[in-house]
Structure 1
């Protein structure tokens, strides 16, 4: 695993944690770091080989991140059962927003990629 790619991930996470402490206390630092990574990749235009080599081995451990939310669900099952209607409504509302937004974003990205291929 290249150290350069892993260093970028750690630096962006630390920068996200600093921004969380100073400016955005309601957002978690790692989420801010992911947003910074996303913005950096948008401006860079492609995935650097060092970053790809650093993140590819980590993807196999991604399902382990689901263990913590599952334990939280099991521990709070009583309160979830009492609020099922509110939870179902918010999930349905989020779905109504997410599906059209994802479709629009995918179409925009496809058009952008086709324009880049035509211009090069």
Structure 2
């Protein structure tokens, strides 16, 4: 069961890498693969049991996958300090864009939910 879900994830990442090489070199292959997975799940309107079990298993080991980037950050402290103003500006700018957008989206979703409830009543 888990092997089937893992096969789907690997195949979608492979297709994402293929699309990256052929059509969209600016977008990373794994991101394209995740978008393909998202589209597939939207079309199915459900999550296959094999994919759900695989995702649950992989989430248990997520901290192990983050050790390598964390170690890279720790060993590249001097390079990070050199680029600190650009990194800080990027973080602040993304925060200023993301927080209002999330608030707007939440209000819109709440309004939609209220309209559905009114229609059902």
Query: What TM-score do you get using the length of structure 1 for normalisation?
Result: 0.79
1:47 corresponds to: 47
1:34-73 paired onto structure 2 within 5 Å: 34-73=34-73
Describe the superposition over 1:6-30 as per-residue Cα deviations: whole angstroms up to 9, x where unpaired: 2221211111011011011222211
CA distance in 2, matches of 1:92, 1:51: 36
- SS of 1:9's equivalent in the other structure is helix
User: Structure 1 residues 108, 40: closer, same or farther in 2, change over 3 A?
Assistant: farther
Aligned alpha-carbon RMSD (Å): 2.5
Describe the superposition over 1:71-105 as per-residue Cα deviations: whole angstroms up to 9, x where unpaired: 22122211211222221111000011112223344
Structure 1: unaligned runs, 5 residues or longer: none
1:17 corresponds to: 17
Query: What TM-score do you get using the length of structure 2 for normalisation?
Result: 0.78
Deviation at 1:107, TM superposition (A): 4.7
2:102 corresponds to: 102
CA distance in 2, matches of 1:35, 1:99: 23
1:76 corresponds to: 76
CA distance in 2, matches of 1:46, 1:103: 27
Deviation at 1:108, TM superposition (A): 4.9
Structure 2: unaligned runs, 5 residues or longer: none
- SS of 1:56's equivalent in the other structure is helix
Between the two proteins, the alignment pairs up a number of residues equal to 117
